[in-house]
Chain A
Amino acid sequence: MANELAILVQGLRKTYSSKASGKKAAVAGIDLEVARGEIFALLGPNGAGKTTTVEILEGYRSRDEGTVKVLGQDPAKLGKNSWAWRNRIGFVLQSTNDSQDLSVHETVHHFANYYSNPRDPDSVIEEVGLSEKSNSRIQTLSGGQRRRLDVALGIIGNPEILFLDEPTTGFDPEARRAFWDLIRKLRDEGTTILLTTHYLDEAEALADRVAVIVEGKIVEVATPISLGGRNTAKARITWLENGIRQEIASDSPTAEVEKLSARFGGEVPELSVVRPSLEDIYLKMIGKS
């Protein structure tokens, strides 16, 4: 069933109640469809409901309402076949801190035993860039190296879907680039990837589609380039004239610049033409601009 959706979510709701704040809807009616082979990003501020949503899909949390299917199965009703479902899925969770006393090599090789069709552990260690650290104890790894180990353990079972929950928190820029390349490579091999992140550049660089989630609701689902109508939004043109900064918004900025250039007889002082960045659009969506 090649056309089968990897993930289907309809009307998902989850409410927490606490003594301090009473009832709070962490997820307030979410619909999602993720196709096979797609990189799908859930983008939102901290506390928006990203992790709750993902943990419901992963089978870690219960839900109050809604339909959830991951690889055709409801994660809350796996029963006896839960191992077969987990055999096809990889998880990279937030902040784990386990197996401190074992080496990278020992850990990755050990986890490979859990799966019926694992990847080769040594090439996985190589792919996440930990070959040089292979014999080091996990407690000696840096934050970014630990995260790459998490990814290694997430993909060791050769999963059809990979869940990545804020995978690059604490990475330096170089490690992030290398990590993105790895994720793209997995996608090219056919892995479906559901990514949560609060980094805009990460969503823009990786995702085929982005869902922006705010206060437990999805505000928009789109490709990164068209999010919030960014691709068709008016460009902002500014320049300096008589010592005063001038500004216009235009659908045809090239023509405007030509007109300006003709008026100034060549160079326009301090000219700039800007389309809204993903960040502008995003901040507007989450109500922070």
Chain B
Amino acid sequence: MRPSIIKIGFLRGGLEIKAFMRQRESVVFTLFFPVMLLFIFGSVFKGNVSPGVTFSQYFVAGMVASGLVNTGFQQLAIMIPIERDFGTLKRLRGTPISPISYFIGKAIVVFAAMVTQVGMLIGFGAALFGLNLPTTADKWFRFLWLVLLGSVCSTILGIAFSAIPKNGRGASAVVSPIVIILQFFSGVFFVFSTLPVWMQQFAALFPLKWLTQGMRSVFLPDSFATREVGGSWEIAQIAIVLIIWTIAGTYLALRTFKWSDK
């Protein structure tokens, strides 16, 4: 009898969370960095981006969205090549484990980090920068599916992208600039509608812009929707773009995933 692929995936998830929690530097960096950014930006930009919407309010929406990209895509696209170098993947390849179990384990550790990070952002934002939380069940429900879909999409794309860096040492140099540029282009640090049109159009090809927009629809008042480039929140488009990227990412991850560099 083959041991259950799902069960092994969850066992790996538990083990990876344990290993992650024991790496103090990465815990601090991954979980506190967005909060530090919020603290810096929130302290520098005190003004409003539109009547009744503080910069901190706008920024938290963007940071929650990019938190999903950081803990998922960025973390995995850097970690997996390192694990390949260390022989972790080669050893797993020699066991009966299915790659699916490995992916599930990664998704679980990513999801745990995301939930913690998002919780901290919202908590600090509310405590220190007067962040207004959504007040309707409707918006909380939207928040929930955005986090779920966003984290799955981000995880899958991180696994798919992990085939590109040649080795662990170079991975960060390949992956980090992509994420930072996308953050700027997608309206995380600046109000999206004030960016040049070519930047907006480029960003619209990638999921982060849509995730950020979705998070704005959760954290900003509906009156802000008219200031979006499309004149509305475009919720359906957000879901469609994320789903398309998830499907494409799954296809790529299964096709290109490499246990070793040979």
Contacts and interface: CB of A to CB of B under 8 A. Distances in A.
A98 B15 contact: no
Interface string A138-164: 000000000000000100010000000
A93 interface: yes
Contact of A96 (B1, B2, B90): B90
Nearest to A150: B91
Interface residues of A, number: 30
A254 interface: no
Interface in B86-127: 86-88, 90-91, 93-98
A98 B88 contact: yes
Given A102-B15, A110-B15, A114-B3, A95 B87 contact: yes
A97 B96 contact: no
A139 B3 CA distance: 29
A111 interface: yes
Contacts of B148: none
A262 interface: no
A61 B93 CA distance: 12
B91 A98 contact: yes
Range of interface residues on B (Cβ < 8 Å): 20 to 34
B36 to A, nearest CB: 24
A123 interface: no
Given A101-B19, A106-B15, A60 B90 contact: yes
Interface in B19-48: 19, 22-23
A116 interface: yes
A147 to B, nearest CB: 13
A113 B19 contact: no
9 contacts: A86-B95, A87-B96, A93-B87, A95-B87, A97-B86, A102-B18, A110-B11, A116-B1, A153-B91
Q: Which 10 residue pairs spanning A and B have beta carbons closest together?
A: A96-B87, A98-B88, A91-B94, A83-B96, A101-B22, A101-B19, A86-B96, A87-B96, A114-B95, A97-B86
